[in-house]
Structures are given as structure tokens and as C-alpha cells.
Chain A
Amino acid sequence: MGSNYRLTFHVDIVFCIDATESMDPVLDSVKNNALHFYQDFQQVMEMKRKKVDQLRVRIVVFRDYIADGPRAMLVTNFFNLPEQSEELETSLRSIEAMGGGDDPEDGLEALGYAIKSDWNHDARKKRHVIVLWSDEGTHELGYGKRSKYYPNGMAENFQELTAWWGSRYAPGEMDEDAKRLILFAPDKEYWTSIVSNWNNTIHYKSEAGKGLEDIDYRQILDAISNSI
């Protein structure tokens, strides 16, 4: 019975990790969370009989352009999983907590990199998920422009970054139906503005890597695995 035409499910995840000095006590926990996250997510999808045909994970490590120069923003390409799971783990384990300068970090630039990822845009069911961990608020976009390492083509301000994220009425760089943003971050700017203004977001008000209750973790996994 039925035709031979079949749907497939592709999932891309970008982990944005604050690796400044203040993250030192929790960074190992964040790395473990990241490794478990894609595995737990895949497991939840399969429990719901959503077979993931392709799973890719990318890492964006962020600090502070003014304080950390060339180590302010480190990115990988997407790793195809499970084939490149060892390379992913090696990359995650290599992240060290250092630098950071003042309290806020360049987390908005990290989101800019994540949003502009080379997402899989095949006309199939898909999820494009950004997960970000930080223990601080963010600078204004462009705060680190005087650093020679600051990227060309970055969103000029928060309004432009918001346009990159897009909305139902004015889609941005990401697929409106596929995109999800999960923030493990304190209740500080600009995270609070993002949660108030960007669609398809979940904010877990926390110190990154600390105190995530199992009940909340399962809610996050359900929120990104289910239709909305």
C-alpha cells in the first residue's frame, strides 16, 4: 500500500560555547552537556519514531575580540555524525577557558556566525538548532570592531542580527520552520532582548552548565524534537 516516495529528517546543530576565564568551573560540564545533547536529542527523536537520516554538529567558541584577539572566535565546519564523532569530541575537549576581559562577552557575534552556518536546505523535514552556553551578558554588536580580528560582514547592530534571525513575516537567514535557539545563559542583556523578540527560542536562566534540572532538560529536548 502507498507510494514509494519517502520523507527524510535532517538535523543540524550549532553549539556556541563561551570559553572565557569565568567559565572555567563549568566548562567541562558544558562540553559534556554538548556531547550528550546531540545524542539525547537523537534518542528522543527516535523514541518519537522520527528517524534522523543526517545529523551534523558544528562548534563556535567565543570570547572577547578586544581582550582575546585571534582566539576571540573559533569555529569548525559541520561534523557528520556518527562518522566524525571522534573528531567532534576531540574538538570539544580541546576548548580551554581563558581571557574574556570585562564581564560581557561577544556572544552576539557568535550567534551571527551560527545563524550564517551552511545549513542543510534540502526540501525535507529538518531542524536547524543553535544551542548557546554563557555565564555572562553580551557586548553591543561591534564593540570589538577596533580589533583587527573583528570579522567583515558581521551584522552592524542588534536590529540587523534580529533581521538575520528573521520572523514569520520577514524570514531571515534561517529556515523559519526548522530553526530553534536554546540559550543557557543568565537573565542579562542581550539574552533577555532575544528571548522577548525572537521567535522559536527557549531561554534557560542559568549559569552555564549548572543546575539544569532533568525536568527542564527533557522539556528542552521535547521542544526542539516536536513540531510547534
Chain B
Amino acid sequence: MKQGLFSLQPDDYFMINGEMIEGCGEDSFYAASSEYTSVLAVFDGCGGIGSRKYPRFSGHSGAYMSARAISGAMHDWFHDFDGGMTLDSQEIGTTMQDYFRNAVDFLHRIGDTSSSRLSGMLVREFPSTAAVALARKTAGSGKKESEVLKAGGPDSQGIELHCLWAGDSRIYLLDEDGLAQLTVDDIADHDAMHNLRADGALTNMVAADGTFSLHHRVLRLKEPVVILASTDGCFGYLPTPMDFEDLLLSSLLQADCPRSFEEALRKEILEVAGDDYTLGFMCFGFESFSALKNHFKKRSAGLLKKYIRPMTENGSEEFAEKLWLSYKNDYLRYLKR
């Protein structure tokens, strides 16, 4: 599982994806790895505002079509720019946004919108979230310090992670300090706990009508580290953000090989998902699956003791809120920088 000196092959990566109603799933994804670059990308067609059905697309919704078209655009982008290796940091964001824009514009041009008599602010054309985690080797990258938000100090070497997103699909990091959200949801209220209950409306997403922003952050990370990309079907139906970390770690620790971890995770997510779900996982810097498990044993025990077991004994909302206030300091550690 150990990577080569200058290449960037993840030690393991997989994508879990499922749909609530067979054949109508509005999530899509893309995952690829070249010698120097790895990408996990998840897309969640917005079924509320993108529920218009298009006869020209076999009656599929705008949300369904959008997520798939953007996923295709992601594939094209990855191959056209050698996984981003031919681009500087800023160009990664601008070119990817152009590819996504062109994908939904194409749908808009060929989709016949005249058949619907519906209008209003709850009706958008081909809306989808996007969350892209693009990992590149940092050695010799020559980046200016101002371009990169450093997580490991000025001399650290490791991974340059580009997080690009629109909407409420997320990129996470998981290390010995626990789960950390790396992206900021495009929802008026940014509190992750509050949004589990409030179901807040998106303020930005990829769409064919109107403008959208593809946010872009760059972090320099030390190995070993786990990177996740997720649509809200995985985390949005759990009672607290702490439960999502517990779901990840307990699935990992009960598994005896990478594939059984993947299956355990799929089973746990399916148990709680209230929507289509997609989760991408990649990890760097672990010698073996045992090393991956061992790395998180202490953290899992601490999470259970401090948060999960107390919430099992006291199921009140007030108590969960109190524990969230304690948890979120670490959970938001990369968003405060």
C-alpha cells in the first residue's frame, strides 16, 4: 500500500453510492487517480428545485441530468489537464468552473422547457451540488506561501489538497484529531448541527439559470491522512455531526480488510440515509489496513467516551447541543484558519 517517493497514489480509495428510489437517484460521482494526482468528486442533483421532468431526457429530472453531466465534465477536465498537473492553483478553479458551466448550459440548450407550466423561485434549471477533492504531491510544487493554507507548518511536505465545491456536499479530513469539515456549506446558516434540523435552502449551486460560484480552497496536509467527499445523504440524516464520525470510525474498526470496511460503511449509511447517498474515501500515508485501523483506535475510543455514550444515556436535544458546542471546535479547525 505504500506510495512511491514522488507519485501520489492513494493507499486505498473507494466510492459508495446508492439511491432511495431505484432508477431515480440524483447523485453522481467521479473518482480517478493518475501518477501524481487523485480526485474524489461527488455531485448531488438538487431534487427540490430541480424536480422539473424533461421529456427530451426520458422524463428524468433536471437534478438527475445535472449531476451526471457535471460528473462527465469532471472526467473530461481530469483528462484534458492531466489531473490538473498542467495548471496553476488558480487555473484549477477557473477551468473546472468553466467545464461545469458548459455541461449544464448544454443540457439547457437541448432540454425542451416549454412543456412545463411551473414557475417560481423553487424551480431552477439543472441544479446540482459539487464537491471535488483533488490531491497533488507538494514536493517541488513551487507554490507561493500565500497561495496555500498550511496545515503542517512551513517545512511540511505531503499533499496539496484542492477543495472545490458549490452547495452543501462536503469535503472532510479525518486524522488523529478527528473529523474536520473542509468546505463551507452554501446555506445561510453555516452551523453544521443546526442544518441537520433546519434543512436550510441552498444559496449557491451549479445550475444552468443564473450565476454560480465554484469555491476553491487549498490546504497543505501531512500524511497520514484520510480525505472524504460526501453528499448530504450520508451525513444529513444523522442526529449530530459526532454520529457521522462515529459511523466512519466504527465501520473501520469492525472491518478486517479494506473491502469489508467499504461494505460496513455502505451498510451503516444505508441504515440512516434519507436521500440518495454518495461517499468517496481516499487515504495517504498508511503502510497497511492494520496501520489505518490502529491510527484511529484511540480517537474512536475518545469519541465514544466523550460524545456517543453520553448521548446514548441522555437523548435530549439540549444535551446533544451542549456536546456539539464542545465538539465543533475541533470539527471546524480547518475552517478557522
Which residues does chain B contribute within 8 Å of A2, judged by CB atoms?
Answer: 238-239, 243, 246-247, 272, 308
Interface majority SS on B: helix, strand, loop or mixed? loop
B311 contacts A3, C-beta separation under 8 Å: yes
Among the 9-residue stretches B65-73, B209-217, B315-323, the one with 4 or more Cβ atoms under 8 Å from chain A is B315-323
B242 contacts A3, C-beta separation under 8 Å: yes
Which residues does chain A contribute within 8 Å of B202, judged by CB atoms?
Answer: 227-228
In whole angstroms, what is the CA distance A27 to B101 when docked?
45
Q: A123-B317, A223-B48 are in contact. Are A3 and B243 (CB under 8 A)?
A: yes
Within 8 A of A (CB), among B262-302: 268, 272-275
Q: Is A75 an interface residue (CB 8 A)?
A: no
A176 contacts B188, C-beta separation under 8 Å: yes
Task: State the Cβ distance, A100 to closest chain B Cβ, in Å.
Answer: 24
Residue among A6, A47, A49, A227 making CB contact with B239, cutoff 8 Å: A6
Which residues does chain B contribute within 8 Å of A7, judged by CB atoms?
Answer: 196-197, 237, 239
Among the 9-residue stretches A81-89, A135-143, A194-202, the one with 4 or more Cβ atoms under 8 Å from chain B is A194-202
A-B pairs with beta carbons under 8 A, tally: 148
Q: A3-B240, A195-B119, A228-B201 are in contact. Are A48 and B274 (CB under 8 A)?
A: yes
Residue among A50, A124, A218 making CB contact with B274, cutoff 8 Å: A50
Total chain A interface residues with beta-carbon distance under 8 A: 45
A3 contacts B320, C-beta separation under 8 Å: yes
B311 contacts A200, C-beta separation under 8 Å: no
Q: Is A173 an interface residue (CB 8 A)?
A: no
Among the 9-residue stretches A33-41, A144-152, A154-162, A203-211, the one with 4 or more Cβ atoms under 8 Å from chain B is A203-211
Q: Which residue of A lies closest to B168 (CB)?
A: A227
Residue among A48, A123, A202 making CB contact with B20, cutoff 8 Å: A48
Interface majority SS on A: helix, strand, loop or mixed? loop
Q: A4-B311, A7-B239, A50-B274 are in contact. Are A228 and B59 (CB under 8 A)?
A: no
Which residues does chain A contribute within 8 Å of B313, judged by CB atoms?
Answer: 4
B20 contacts A47, C-beta separation under 8 Å: yes
Q: Which of the listed residues A2, A200, A222, A225 has the most CB atoms from chain B within 10 Å of its own CB? A: A2
The 3 A-B pairs at the shortest CB distance, nearest first, are namely A3-B311, A226-B48, A222-B51
Residues of B within 8 A of A (CB): 20-21, 46-49, 51-53, 59, 61, 115-123, 188, 196-203, 232, 236-240, 242-243, 246-247, 250, 268, 272-275, 307-308, 311-313, 315-317, 319-320
